Chain A
Amino acid sequence: MLTARPTESVEGTTPAAPLKVALMSCAHTHAAAYASQLESRADVELVVADPDSYDDVRGVRMVRSYADAWDAWPEGPDAIVVTSANAHHKDLVLEAARRGAHVLCEKPLATTVPDAEAMVAACHEAGVVLMTAFPVHFSPAVEALRDAVAEGALGEVIGLTGTNNGKLPTARDWFTDVELAGGGAMVDHTVHLAEILDSVVGPPATVHATTNRILHADRAGKGAETGGLVTLTYDSGLVATIDCSWSLPDDAPTWGGLRLQALGTGGQLQIDAFAQHVGGPGRWLPYGSDLDALLLDAFLGAVRQGRAVDPTGEVGLRTVRVVAAAQESVRTGQPVALAED
């Protein structure tokens, strides 16, 4: 078993050396934003691997292959950020664990439960940090909902409705390639809310889902659902539904959004994580917190501490279980019970 190299200098002596970070693949649409954030930080040395030659991440040190990224420093990177197509997460994360590098992996953590389990286990055994890239976890609006529920401000919470609707990603066709993405909208958009719900009320007991492919029927890959409703029940009796559809029209002024409404005996709370904007006809100027920056800050702090913080690889795995159960429900037409851990 490999032990991760300590990355933090002794406090009070020398300033911490910059963290060596390799961003693995530009396949995900978030890669450019993460690269820009990391590049701007004085405490990070960044290398970006673009083996698929997307060539649209700029202003950073680029390499053409994963091997070149692993070899960019004599002692290898301290940490990697995995922004490949979903089906390729596993190989990159297992390689990081083998090399003792910490990992921030895009969501969904994996396209199958066994893959996600193997990734979590490998990082655990290697003693490296594994976190799942759920930026909305850090939204102040989500934080407010989490706090309100935890403090009992809503009384007994009995119902939650979440919507994560957006446009169909256009620049990256793999998002609707079932082989590479693991599915369609239900894979892409269920996990954000599943993670938030997990952080608010824990994992669900049952999952029911129904899907269709009426939206973007001409553009979505074969077999990829573009609309879906995922209903979760909890041992407490609470019911929650996630609308994961790619239902925002192409001409909308923003990419989409994430809303969550909680109902309790103490009243209702609804949040919209991307509501903050200056508007006008056809205008949408967002001014809310930079959630990518908050995510990366949490990850880099965790790397320096050598200890993962939320959203961890474990919650990433639990959300993959929710998606897998939803897919099984679509196949069977019936709700699916989640196995106890």
Chain B
Amino acid sequence: MTTSPHPGSSAPSAAPRPLRVGIVGTGGISRAHLPGWAELGAELHCYSQAGAQEFAAASGATAHGTLEELLAAVDLVDVCTPTPSHPEIVRAALDAGRDVICEKPLALDPAEARDLVEHADRAGRTLFPAHVVRFFPQYAEAKRAIDNGAVGTPAVLRFERTGALPDRSWYADEELSGGIVMDQMIHDIDQALWMAGPVERVYAQQSIATTDPTVRTAHVVLTHRSGVLSHCRGFWGPSGTQFRYTFDLAGDAGLLQYDSAGDPGIVFDTVASARHGAGDGFLPDVSTLRDPYAAEIVEFATALAGGAPARVEAADGALAVEVSHAALESLRTGRSITC
């Protein structure tokens, strides 16, 4: 069991101050971070251009009128804003001497993402990119097994991710979100990098429905320096599409497969499921798992408190942006891009 680095239940005589966390941006993903902060007994603060009061009311956080005011009140900043504002907020938080958790992608531009990594180094603070899929137990188990030789030498890896286009206008604007590749598929690009190492070449193709531009798919093919091949397939489906993720990891001595749609732990029949909603197509239903978002938050906080290092570090976030950006360049040019 992971122990809290800032336990609220230690000996009364030495009750430490709770970790003070500043959540910047109070949209959808910030809600997914709340159970982790609650588990740590964190004192929550928030700042957002919109919705801060509602978030504060729902979470018990203290809302601040400016970013500066929030930065002055906290130990750690959790950046949950739309992607384009990540760099500015991360730099401000680092400059204020705060450690930072930043939602993926760190930035849309790889040079900017690398600069954030260096900025954190210069500031002597820690920057965690929230690549939450590394904390999904299925992927964590697969990674551990691969590292222990379960498939021998990895050879061909496939990852699929299916959901609905997030119900917020900025996601649909490729200039703001980086589109399906930078927003959704970066998760699986990060998995491919985690499991098979750096990439030599990237080829990507995207198809957007002419009759409904919110429906789109992309294929990203990675040729790793190790020779491993990875295929990432993303899909933002029509309204009503259930969130689904799969992987198929083949090596010269074994094969590992997972499909969230075939995960038979709990099955409601169609009659029962008509009265039971689970998942929204935007974020996966994690109700049957150790909450990966909470596991992520707790692992970051533990690492900051001097515990075991987290399984993802700033440079991983920058690398995922670099490869995703190369995929976007491939989409634009129709060429295979050397990394």
Residues of A within 8 A of B (CB): 155-156, 158-159, 161, 163, 165, 206, 208, 210-212, 214-217, 226-229, 231, 233, 237-239, 241, 243, 245, 247-249, 252, 263-268, 333-335
Contacts and interface: CB of A to CB of B under 8 A. Distances in A.
A243 B216 CA distance: 21
A245 B155 contact: yes
Contact of B215 (A216, A227, A265, A334): A265
Contacts of A265: 209, 211-212, 215, 238
Given A161-B160, A245-B156, A247-B255, A156 B233 contact: no
Interface in B204-243: 205-212, 215-219, 221, 223, 227-229, 231, 233, 235, 237-238, 241
A126 B156 CA distance: 44
B55 interface: no
A248 B252 CA distance: 9
B186 to A, nearest CB: 18
24 contacts: A156-B212, A158-B209, A161-B219, A161-B233, A206-B334, A210-B201, A214-B228, A216-B252, A217-B252, A228-B156, A228-B229, A229-B231, A231-B219, A231-B221, A237-B208, A237-B210, A239-B206, A241-B219, A249-B253, A249-B255, A263-B217, A264-B209, A267-B238, A335-B203
A247 B230 CA distance: 13
A134 to B, nearest CB: 23
Interface in B304-339: 334-336
A247 B228 CA distance: 12
Contact of B211 (A156, A238, A268, A334): A156
A208 B203 contact: yes
A312 B255 CA distance: 35
A166 to B, nearest CB: 11
Task: Label chain B's interface by main secondary structure.
Answer: strand
Given A161-B160, A212-B155, A243 B231 contact: yes
A239 B255 contact: no
B214 to A, nearest CB: 9
Interface string B234-266: 010110010000001011111100000000000
B162 interface: yes
A231 B229 CA distance: 13
Contacts of B229: 210-212, 227-229, 245
Contacts of A211: 229
A229 B215 CA distance: 24
Contact of A214 (B153, B160, B207): B153
Contacts of A226: 155
B215 A247 contact: no
B228 A263 contact: no
Contacts of B250: 165, 215, 227, 245, 247-248
B238 A215 contact: no
Contacts of B221: 208, 210, 229, 231, 241
B91 interface: no
Nearest to A238: B207
B145 to A, nearest CB: 14
Contacts, number: 130
A303 B252 CA distance: 44
Contact of B238 (A155, A159, A208, A245): A155
Most buried by B among A211, A229, A268, A333: A229
Contacts of A210: 201, 203, 221, 223, 229
A335 B153 CA distance: 27
A156 B209 contact: yes
Contact of B227 (A214, A231, A243): A214
Contacts of A206: 334
B20 interface: no
A227 B196 CA distance: 15
Given A229-B221, A243-B158, A245-B155, A212 B255 contact: no
Contacts of B251: 214-215
B210 A156 contact: yes
A249 B249 CA distance: 11
B336 A208 contact: yes
Nearest to A244: B156
Contact of B334 (A158, A159, A163, A335): A335
Given A210-B201, A233-B205, A267-B237, A227 B156 contact: yes
Most buried by A among B154, B229, B254: B229
A7 B207 CA distance: 48
Given A229-B231, A245-B250, 11 more contacts: A161-B233, A212-B156, A214-B155, A214-B227, A214-B251, A237-B210, A264-B209, A267-B238, A333-B201, A333-B336, A334-B335
Contacts of B154: 214
A231 B155 contact: no
B156 A247 contact: yes
Contacts of A215: 155-156, 250-252
Contacts of A268: 162, 235, 237, 241
Interface string B137-159: 00000000000000001111010
B219 A159 contact: yes
Contacts of B334: 206, 335
A334 B255 contact: no
Given A217-B252, A265-B211, A231 B203 contact: yes
Nearest to B206: A239
Most buried by B among A156, A210, A237, A241: A210
